[in-house]
Structure 1
Amino acid sequence: MFTVSQTSRAWFIDRARQAREERLVQKERERAAIGIQAHVRSFLCRNRLQREIRREIDEFFKADDSGSSKRSALCIFKIARKLLFLFRIKEDNERFEKLCRCILSSMDAENEPKVWYVSLALSKDLTLLWIKQIKDILWHCCEFLEQLKPEILQDSKLVTLYLTMLVTFTDASTWKILRGKGENLRPAMNHICANIMGHLNQRGLYSVLQILLTRGLARPRPCLSKGTLTAAFSLALR
């Protein structure tokens, strides 16, 4: 038989144990609540930042479409960094298309070195960043080529665009920056192109070309144009 004193002591110990367990549970709840709140705040902050960046990118291309003035290579580089920072292939496909058109347009400018996108390769501060950026852009071009259906007119235009990007930046022979006095830069630029081509090869460029050619040619009526085939075979032979 337990005495009254022993019973009271057991009851007190049990209550103390329950109180301790309740405090631990409460601490876990508070910790979990803080964690959830932190994740929610982080999610909302990232979404807000992404919306702001995308709005800035859209405004950049909207102003570019107006044709008021030609964008400098540095401006294009900066906006490309922002797009690549949050790039999602489904959500940013139109923005990426505009970026590629903007880059190619800059390469076509006459006697305007500051406009040529490739001119940033000559900047000591930006060379490595530029090389990384163009590698990322060209690989995204490959990712789009892997998904596009050349038998669809709009997709066919995009195939041409992304192949043009790949052809342009894996061979320096058409770069206007190498004309005249720039001829001395040709070995360095050829080395950069070889570096870019090696990177794309490691990532799976030839598999992408195989998929593209199969979709465009292995059908009752081939749907790849002569220009598209020329670009694809030029890349395959580099």
Structure 2
Amino acid sequence: MPQLTPLDAQFLHFETATQVANIAGLAVLDGDLNRSDLQALLEQRLPYVPAMRRKLAPVPFGLDHPYWEQEDDLDLDYHVREIGLPPPGDDRQLAEQVSRLHARRLDRGRPLWEIYLIHGLAGGRMGLYTKIHHAAVDGVGGADVLAALLDLTPVPAVREGTPARDEPPPDPLEMVGRALVRLGANPAQAIGFVARALPHLDEIPVVSALPGTRLISGLARRLAGSGQAPE
């Protein structure tokens, strides 16, 4: 399973309780789209979209960039949601709703994407809002996702071949070993990762019993802005 590149990991570190690294798109559709039909389509297509089947596998104590881990039990009821706008359902209301949705951090314990069906738009229209974390896709990756999910003709193309499966990430002990080797060869990088490890000191059984450990970890978490995002 691939490890996040330094650039991809930077998009994770960029986030705070009030700052997100989501990228998103909004489509306004004529007519209605059924949630169950959309879920059925995604169930067929997602095996061919690795970026939407992966979740983060963190390295213990933040010593290195996370790895990707394939999610075999993808919960489409969680990832595909629907909401309704109150009358009159104008474009201003749609923009305000999308702004609220975009400001919410994605759950890092799940694959980093969500899709919203937005009903109640004036003129019989509906919105389809999709957001995915920038750590999961870049511009080229986003184009690949769209190519896998959308069709250019009314009759969908037949998908050929068996979807590839990712190798599992290293176990936590191996992750730590690899991280220590890498940090030993790069002292400047080691300083940065030590700073990211400080919020986790109170999670280490022996270290957590030392005086002041919880205070240091709590202060480090606050400085890192790792609180809950506003709902």
Q: TM-score, normalised by structure 1?
A: 0.20
Q: Which has the larger radius of gyration?
A: 1
Q: Name the structure where helix makes up a greater proportion of residues.
A: 1
Instruction: State the TM-score, normalized to the length of structure 2.
Output: 0.21
Which structure: greater strand fraction?
Answer: 2
Higher relative CO (CA 8 A, sep ≥ 6), structure 1 or 2? 2
